[in-house]
Amino acid sequence: MRTSKRIQIRELIALALVEWRSENRVSAAMVTWFVLMLGVMAGLGYVSGVRFFKDVIWLVPPFAAISSILLLLPASSIAQPIPVIVGSTLGAAMGTTASMAVHGPVYAVAAAVGTLLVLSTLRIYHPPGVALSMYPLLLHPGVLFPLVVVFPFTLIAVTSAACLSREIGSWPAYPRPLRVAEKDRHG
């Protein structure tokens, strides 16, 4: 009986290693775009007046996550334009609003929880949006941070990924096509 369970566990592990891997691989064009997106992030941070080495460096993780999601999970609900743009901007706006009254790690956690609840309720959940809600409470980038840094970055990332998916063969299809109601298709 034990041998049979070991075989089942091995088969399950082997199946998981095959089935749970990412389907997409990055190409040279995708890596170049990824690097350019981080350059855009740095430029937006610089233009907005966010202190470059002290504060902009902390934007790398959520913006790298946004770019990675667009590249490797393009069909996922969290990669679609509305969650990416609105979810990230709303998360940053919620953190910025809270930072006008409070600051610190405890409030950053509270902002993350609140953002998680709001984004999931609105069905525009985007994990980096939750992370971006914490940023203003920890580093005080200013009241325009959501509009001057987050919104332009996500708009540029989504638009460029959509355009490149149509022009470069190795790029995954993005965004996911909209489903039109059956009655609308037949007039």
Q: Rounded mean pLDDT of 33-43? A: 88
- Report percent pLDDT > 90 for the chain: 59
Q: What share of the chain is helix, strand, coil (3-state, %, to 5)?
A: 75, 0, 25
4 or 131, which is more confident: 131
Q: Is the pLDDT of residue 187 over 70?
A: no
Q: What is the DSSP letter of 96?
A: H
Confidence at 9, pLDDT banded by 50, 70, 90: confident
181 or 17, which is more confident: 17
Q: Rounded mean pLDDT of 14-26? A: 79
Mean pLDDT, the chain, rounded, equals 88
What are the residue boundaries of the structural domains of the chain, listed by start?
24-171
12 or 146, which is more confident: 146
**Token pair of 160 as six digits:** 């460029």
Q: Is the pLDDT of residue 80 over 90?
A: yes
Q: Is the pLDDT of residue 60 over 90?
A: no
Structure confidence at residue 181 (pLDDT) = 63
Structure confidence at residue 119 (pLDDT) = 97
Q: Is the pLDDT of residue 121 over 70?
A: yes
pLDDT (tens digit per residue) in 93-104: 999 999 999 999
Q: Is the pLDDT of residue 81 over 70?
A: yes
Kindly report the three-state secondary structure assignment for every residue of the chain.
CHHHHHHHHHHHHHHHHHHCCCCCCCCHHHHHHHHHHHHHHHHHHHHHCCCHHHHHHHHHHHHHHHHHHHHHCCCCHHHCHHHHHHHHHHHHHHHHHHHCCCCCHHHHHHHHHHHHHHHHHCCCCCHHHHHHHHHHHHHCCCCCHHHHHHHHHHHHHHHHHHHHHHHCCCCCCCCCCCCCCHHHHCC
70 or 57, which is more confident: 70
